[in-house]
Structure 1
Amino acid sequence: MAVGAKLHLSPAARRPTLPQLLAVALLCSASYLAGVWHHGGFTAAPAAGGGGASPSPVSIATAASVACVSPTTAGVARVGGAPLDFEAHHAADDTEAVNAAPARRAYEACPAKYSEYTPCEDVERSLRFPRDRLVYRERHCPAEGERLRCLVPAPKGYRTPFPWPTSRDVAWFANVPHKELTVEKAVQNWIHVDGDKFRFPGGGTMFPHGAGAYIDDIGKLIPLHDGSIRTALDTGCGVASWGAYLLSRNILAMSFAPRDSHEAQVQFALERGVPAMIGVLASNRLTYPARAFDMAHCSRCLIPWQLYDGLYLIEVDRILRPGGYWILSGPPINWKKHSKGWQRTREDLNAEQQAIESVAKSLCWKKIKEVGDIAIWQKPTNHIHCKASRRVIKSPPFCSNKNPDAAWYDKMEACITPLPEASDIKEVAGGELKKWPQRLTALPPRIASGSIEGVTAEMFNEDTKLWKKRVGHYKSVISQFGQKDRYGNLLDMNARFGGFAAALAGDPMWVMNMVPTVGNSTTLGVIYERGLIGNYQDWCEGMSTYPRTYDLIHADSVFSLYKDSARWTPSCWKWTES
Structure 2
Amino acid sequence: MAIARFGRQMKRSYQSYGFCVKLSAVVTLGLCFVFVWSLFSNFSVTSQRETFDDIAEPVSASNGKVSDFQVHSRKIEPKKDQENDKQKIKSRLDDKDEKIINGSMPLKSGKRQENVDSIAVEKSGDEDSKKSKTDGEEKSQENEGSDVEEVIKEKKDDEGNDKEGEDMDSDGNTNEGVEGDLDLINTEDLDREVVVDDNGGSRKGKKKKYGPLFDRKAHYNWKLCNTRSKHNYIPCIDIESATGKLQSYRHHERSCPRSAVMCLVPLPRGGYGAPVHWPESKTKILYKNVAHPKLAAYIKTQDWLVESGEYLTFPQNQSLFKGGIQHYLESIEEMVPDIEWGKNIRIVLDMGSKDSSFAASLFEKDVLTLTLGLKDDLVDLAQVALERGFPAVVSPFATQRLPFPSGVFDAVHCGECSISWHSNGGKLILEMNRILRPGGYFILSTKHNSIEAEEGLPLHITLKSCLHAIPEAIEQRGTEWPAEWPKRLHTYSEWMNNRDKLAAESEHWKAILSNSYLIGMGIDWSTIRNVMDMKAINGGFAAALSDKNVWVMNVVPVHAPDTLPVIFERGLVGIYHDWCESLGTYPRSYDLLHADHLFSRLKNRCKQAIVIVVEMDRILRPGGWAIVRDKVEILNPLEEILRSLHWEIRMTFAQDKEGILCAQKTSWRP
**TM-score, normalised by the number of residues in structure 2:** 0.55
C-alpha distance 110-187 of structure 1, shift in aligned 2 (>3 A)? closer
CA offsets 1:272-313 (integer angstroms, 9 cap, x no match): 111001113211001100011000001123101122332111
* 8 Å CA contact 2:554, 2:574 repeated in 1: yes
How many Å separate the matches in 2 of 1:553 and 1:470?
16
Q: Give the 5 Å matches for 1:14-413.
A: 47=154, 105-110=219-224, 114-124=230-240, 136-144=251-259, 147-150=261-264, 152-184=266-298, 186-201=300-315, 206-220=320-334, 221-222=336-337, 223-225=339-341, 227-260=343-376, 262-331=378-447, 335=448, 339=449, 349-350=451-452, 352-356=453-457, 359=459, 362=460, 395-399=461-465
Match of 1:561 in 2: 601
Q: What do you get for the CA RMSD once the two structures are aligned?
A: 3.5
How many Å separate the matches in 2 of 1:281 and 1:571?
29
* 8 Å CA contact 2:321, 2:416 repeated in 1: no
How many Å separate the matches in 1 of 2:318 and 2:400?
28
| Cα offset, 1:54, TM superposition | 9.0
Asked if residue 505 in structure 1 is aligned to residue 505 in structure 2, the reply is no
* 8 Å CA contact 1:490, 1:512 repeated in 2: yes
CA offsets 1:465-522 (integer angstroms, 9 cap, x no match): 21222222221313435x4x310000000011011001111111100000001121x1
Structure 1 gaps, min length 5: 1-43, 60-101, 363-394, 400-414, 449-455
Match of 1:421 in 2: 472
How many Å separate the matches in 2 of 1:147 and 1:169?
35
How many Å separate the matches in 1 of 2:471 and 2:405?
14
* 8 Å CA contact 1:488, 1:509 repeated in 2: yes
How many Å separate the matches in 2 of 1:186 and 1:208?
18
* 8 Å CA contact 1:107, 1:150 repeated in 2: no
Match of 2:492 in 1: 443
| Cα offset, 1:271, TM superposition | 0.7
CA offsets 1:60-105 (integer angstroms, 9 cap, x no match): xxxxxxxxxxxxxxxxxxxxxxxxxxxxxxxxxxxxxxxxxx9874
* 8 Å CA contact 2:542, 2:554 repeated in 1: yes
* 8 Å CA contact 1:296, 1:325 repeated in 2: yes
Match of 2:511 in 1: 469
How many Å separate the matches in 2 of 1:447 and 1:261?
38
2:566 to 526, 545, 570: 526
Match of 2:480 in 1: 431
C-alpha distance 513-155 of structure 1, shift in aligned 2 (>3 A)? farther
Match of 1:367 in 2: none
| Cα offset, 1:131, TM superposition | 11
1:516 to 547, 550, 557: 557
| Cα offset, 1:51, TM superposition | 6.8
How many Å separate the matches in 2 of 1:203 and 1:183?
22
The one-letter amino acid of 2:555's match is M
How many Å separate the matches in 2 of 1:204 and 1:316?
29
* 8 Å CA contact 1:266, 1:276 repeated in 2: yes
Which stretch of structure 1 is more off in the superposition, 511-520 or 113-122?
Answer: 113-122
| Cα offset, 1:138, TM superposition | 2.3
C-alpha distance 111-290 of structure 1, shift in aligned 2 (>3 A)? closer
The one-letter amino acid of 2:520's match is V
The one-letter amino acid of 2:251's match is Y
Which stretch of structure 1 is more off in the superposition, 50-59 or 217-226?
Answer: 50-59
The one-letter amino acid of 2:276's match is F
How many Å separate the matches in 1 of 2:529 and 2:397?
28
Secondary structure of the 2:518 match is: helix
* 8 Å CA contact 2:299, 2:307 repeated in 1: no
C-alpha distance 262-228 of structure 1, shift in aligned 2 (>3 A)? closer
C-alpha distance 107-261 of structure 1, shift in aligned 2 (>3 A)? farther
Match of 1:410 in 2: none
CA offsets 1:153-205 (integer angstroms, 9 cap, x no match): 45433111111221112111110112534543545423221111111225777
* 8 Å CA contact 1:135, 1:282 repeated in 2: no
Higher fraction of helix: 1
Q: How many pairs were matched up?
A: 410
C-alpha distance 122-354 of structure 1, shift in aligned 2 (>3 A)? closer
How many Å separate the matches in 2 of 1:104 and 1:572?
13
How many Å separate the matches in 2 of 1:137 and 1:234?
20
Match of 1:478 in 2: 521
C-alpha distance 444-109 of structure 1, shift in aligned 2 (>3 A)? farther
| Cα offset, 1:270, TM superposition | 0.6
C-alpha distance 108-151 of structure 1, shift in aligned 2 (>3 A)? farther
* Identity over aligned pairs, percent: 31
How many Å separate the matches in 2 of 1:428 and 1:46?
36
CA offsets 1:100-146 (integer angstroms, 9 cap, x no match): xx987444351586322211112445889x999x99332111111x6
| Cα offset, 1:535, TM superposition | 0.4
Higher fraction of strand: 2
| Cα offset, 1:573, TM superposition | 5.5
C-alpha distance 480-308 of structure 1, shift in aligned 2 (>3 A)? same
Secondary structure of the 2:600 match is: helix
| Cα offset, 1:560, TM superposition | 1.5
Structure 2 gaps, min length 5: 1-150, 160-177, 185-215, 614-637, 642-670
Secondary structure of the 1:531 match is: coil
* 8 Å CA contact 2:359, 2:368 repeated in 1: yes
| Cα offset, 1:326, TM superposition | 0.7
How many Å separate the matches in 2 of 1:195 and 1:243?
25
How many Å separate the matches in 1 of 2:593 and 2:328?
34
| Cα offset, 1:217, TM superposition | 3.0
Match of 1:494 in 2: 535
**TM-score, normalised by the number of residues in structure 1:** 0.64
* 8 Å CA contact 1:191, 1:200 repeated in 2: yes
Secondary structure of the 2:315 match is: coil
